[in-house]
Amino acid sequence: MSPKKRITMHDHAAEASLFKRRALFTFICVFALLGLLLSNLYQLQVVSFADYETRSNDNRIRIVPIAPSRGLILDRNGQLLAENQPFHSLELIPEKVANIDEALDKLNHILPISQDERDTIAETLKFHRRFKPMTIKAKLTEEEVATFTVNQHAFPGIYVDAGLKRHYPYDELLTHVLGYVGKINTKDRAALEASNLWANYAATKDMGKQGIEKFYENLLHGQPGHVEEEVNNRGRVIRTLKVTEPTPGQDIYLTLDLKLQQKAVELLAGKKGSIVAIDPKDGGILAMVSSPSYDPNQFVHGISSKAYSQLLNDKSRPLINRATQGQYSPASTVKPFIALLGLDDQIINERTRVWDPGFWQIPGVERKYRDWKKWGHGWVDVYHAIIDSCDIFFYDLAYKVGVNKLANFMDQFGFGRNTGIDIFEEATGNMPSKDWKRLKYNQSWYIGDTISVGIGQGYWTATPLQLANATAILANKGQRFTPHLLKAFKDRTALIAAPIDEQPPIELKNPRNWDIINEAMRQTADKSRFTDARYTAAMKTGTAQIVGIAQDAKYDASKISEHLRDNALIVAYAPYEDPKIVIALVLENAGWGGANAGPVARELFDEYLLRDEWMTAK
């Protein structure tokens, strides 16, 4: 009997229902995907059209920044102090050079590269962005440019760049005033980015590092321009679409008098020290010299580590601006100010006399404080105390005044704080007080400390700029101006005068006290270096000890190391009747102030005040 066949029964209704569901699901998926596709197309073509058009243009259009030319620096008479000169340099883009060492070895056969340059390149590469060009050889000669241009095909990623570089035509003459420009380093870039200024330096490799160049960077730098270039997919330029010219930096005029600056440098040649000359009528700096100096041009193209190390380790410290950073004991140059305090506080008057036997003692103390004149000056009033620089008079006065009152009074003249001059390199000096010594050394203040301060020694230190500024206030009988170097700046249309910062004047209880002190300084000048001058001057000299001398010992410069010998100082102004120039001078380790500093002040005054007479005579 044959087996039975299985009969399969189809449920057409169920199958039809299943098919419909699957078909509906499939159509829904298809429509959803089509909707998503259309949505994306709308997003790309409509909503994001502007964005993608910009991205496309960015790939097609290249923006190349153009560096602005740096503003010029001129003196008060329009003499050029800092200019821009054309230059050629050899640049390398690290990411386009397969092996930099091999490329430099090969390059050395046509353009010699020193070991110092190789070391500098290796150091720079550690922090340099590979897509940014870097200088591998600065200041190419025309012959070197021609030699490389002929062989450029053999050095992919290396090219000659042309531009303008800062140049200081007077070399060492103005270094500590002008400062210099140098390459923008990692620290500089971080500061610019933090200030949202980096975009302004996209095409600039240098910026001000010190002095006027740094302080007025915002005026001197200018605004960059740019070139819009159309390029193909390989980055080759097809055409130039648009050029936006950069805005050059503004030219600035300084208060400096170049001829006076040159004379001051000449007088300090071979010496260590500083000269500051101020116009007392507005606080403008006429001359500011720190000696020894250095050539700022070597920093413009990048100074070698060897050369910088020599400057840094030089015992004469040429990198320090002695005019604003040198801190010296002011010695007897501050005696007029101390006498003014005594008069104003009515501790002394015009007729007060002090007996000077050659020494002074604190009541009840055995130690004797000696006068510079061994046998003393006899009876001394305030005039002769300043004229003859009688130490005994000022020991006694300081003892009666007290250091805190003295410190508070001197603060009005700018001692112990920044003057506010428009360069960043400035020290405050030190105007000591009881609280200062407690904070500094955790020690008590002794009367002996006050006695030393009374003759401008001990803990009291001041910069030559502070001494010049204080003397200008004295010559002005209390009128005060913030010392400044900027006279005017020039934009595209006009020369704009810089504002003068006049501070509230110093008011004395008796204004006649100004006349007493200034008359004493006039008599001091009349008895010394200005006896035969064609103008009337006022002055006070000082001799500052570097090391202490035993009570009964005699100072002998020949038996003391040169760096420990006394400093010579002078503060002076002229003409006495209508002051036009104030000078503060410090000669390091030169000895007696009157003998060594006095002649320098005389020559500077002659140069500035008699120049017109000499020119007329010629």
What 8-state DSSP symbol labels residue 10? P
The values of phi and psi at residue 430, to 5°, are -145, 125
Cα–Cα dist 333/598, whole Å: 12
DSSP β-bridge partners for residue 573 = 538, 582
Question: Is-contact 264 278, C-beta < 8 A?
Answer: no
Domains 63-233+240-254 and 258-617 share a fold: no
Cα–Cα dist 130/52, whole Å: 28
Establish how many alpha carbons lie within 13 A of residue 349's alpha carbon, considering only the half-sphere containing its beta carbon. 4
Cα–Cα dist 155/107, whole Å: 8
pLDDT at 555: 46
Cα–Cα dist 439/398, whole Å: 22
Nearest to 224 by CA among 247, 194, 190, 258: 247
> Is 29 known as a binding-site position?
no
Helix, strand, or coil here: 585?
A: strand
Burial class (CB in 10 A: 0-12, 13-18, 19+), 419: buried
The H-or-E segment that residue 66 falls in is strand 61-66
For the chain, the structural domain boundaries read 63-233+240-254, 258-617
Cα–Cα dist 449/579, whole Å: 35
Helix, strand, or coil here: 271?
A: coil
Cα–Cα dist 299/15, whole Å: 91
Burial class (CB in 10 A: 0-12, 13-18, 19+), 179: buried
Sign of torsion, CA 515 521 255 284?
A: negative
Nearest to 426 by CA among 455, 400, 391, 462: 462
Helix, strand, or coil here: 354?
A: strand
- Spans of the chain, pLDDT less than 50: 1, 550-551, 553, 555-556, 559
Sign of torsion, CA 251 257 263 266?
A: negative
As assigned by CATH, the class of the 258-617 domain is alpha beta
Neighbours of 83 (CB within 10 A): 15
pLDDT at 562: 55
Catalytic one among 290, 329, 332, 528? 332
Cα–Cα dist 179/208, whole Å: 8
Cα–Cα dist 605/264, whole Å: 10
DSSP string of 98-167, one letter each residue: S-HHHHHHHHTTTS---HHHHHHHHHHHTT--TTS-EEEE-S--HHHHHHHHHHGGG-TTEEEEEEEEEE
- Give the pTM: 0.83
Establish how many alpha carbons lie within 13 A of residue 594's alpha carbon, considering only the half-sphere containing its beta carbon. 13
> Is 356 known as a binding-site position?
yes
Whether 48 sits among the annotated catalytic residues: the reply is no
Copy the structure tokens of residue 317.
Answer: 């410290």
Write the CATH number of the domain with boundaries 63-233+240-254: 3.90.1310.10
Tokens 């006649």 -> residue: 512
